[in-house]
Structure 1
Amino acid sequence: MQTAKTNAQRLLEAKGIEVSIYTYDNEDGAIHGTAVADKIGLPPETVFKTLVAHSGANLYVFVIPVAEELDLKKAAKAAGEKKIEMLPLKDLLKFTGYVRGGCSPVGMKKLYPTFIDESAEIQERIAVSAGKIGLQMEVAPEELAGVVGATFCGLLK
């Protein structure tokens, strides 16, 4: 059971956004997206992962369905960059305040330019990390985009 709310939850609730919380057991170490979707009982196309990429010193956040792969060329185009690379895992906590498997697009240390795959727009609600391994939150995609200033665009391979 969840005890304390995460920053991501608090930020959404402060804006009056309705959030459904899902907890899952991560003792088995299976924290990859499709395992999480299975554990919380939601279709993988409604569960999204948060990826952080960079071009030089510029960081960008990409939110895509868990079973899909980010197309770095499409990501670079969306971000207005020539080339973009995934942020090294060792730098994730330093820049976002989150760890792998618990990275939420909401409540990072800074508000980075954020892009959500356009497939989210056809979903009534999508689940994203609530900022902690073992915790997901479900929210309307438009409301999530509004909070983080995200743009919807095609990001998938």
Structure 2
Amino acid sequence: MTKPDAGGTPATLALVRAGIRFIAHQYAHDAGQSGAAGGYGLEAADKLALDPDQVFKTLLADADGTLVVAVVPVSGTLDLKALAAAVGAKKAAMADPTIAERKTGYVLGGISPIGQKTTLRTVLDETAELYDTVFVSGGRRGFDIEISPADLIAVTGATIAAIARTR
């Protein structure tokens, strides 16, 4: 099990407390590379030389007035209709970024599905189960965690559903 240093994030601390194995991956975040065209997740895939299908981004959505967390591959986009169906809502829309930061305790581009300030319902795209490990934000820009999908599901209480669309 990888243990964080004294500057650990809520995500790594939650994993250590739960006894869940993970590998921390740091990279030099480049604000210019993660702009609107590429995104933070694609920057992580590029900098860590990973398949973008194996790197997942954490998004917050408002599903009929309730915040939910969606975790999808950075190679695709979130299907809001599929997310709404997965959580039994009529419709879903992306959450306000300020609310996402306040509820999770993380900054945009560093929102981890693990160790969030407020426990929210989480849905993980079914493609995560195609891999032995997946990569998610470790709680800050330039820091990803490699974890098994089963452990990610266990620590977040996520459900699995087809919520991603390929670009």
Aligned to 1:11: 14
2 CA distance for matches of 1:27 and 1:94? 24
Tell me what 2:132 maps to.
124
Q: What do residues 28-84 of structure 1 show as CA deviations (whole Å, max 9, x unaligned)? A: 432321121010121111100000001343110000000101111100000110011
Alignment of 1:2-151 (within 5 A): 4-31=7-34, 32=39, 33-151=41-159
Aligned partners of 2:31, 2:157: CA distance in 1, in Å? 35
**Shift in Å, 1:123:** 0.5
Task: Name which of structure 1's ranges 69-78 and 11-20 shifts more when overlaid on structure 2.
Answer: 11-20
Report the TM-score when normalising by structure 2.
0.89
TM-score between both structures, scaled by the size of structure 1: 0.94
Identity over aligned pairs, percent: 38
Query: Separation in 2 of the partners of 1:154 and 1:109?
Result: 26
Aligned length: 156
Contact map agreement 1:125 1:138 (CA 8 A) in 2: yes
Given that residues 78 and 164 in structure 2 are in contact (C-alpha distance below 8 angstroms), is that contact kept between their aligned partners in structure 1? yes
Runs of 4+ aligned residues of structure 1 deviating over 3 Å after TM superposition are none
Q: CA offsets, 1:118-145, max 9 Å, x none?
A: 0001100000000111100000011110
Which sections of structure 2, spanning at least 5 residues, go unmatched? Answer: none
Unaligned runs of 5+ in 1: none
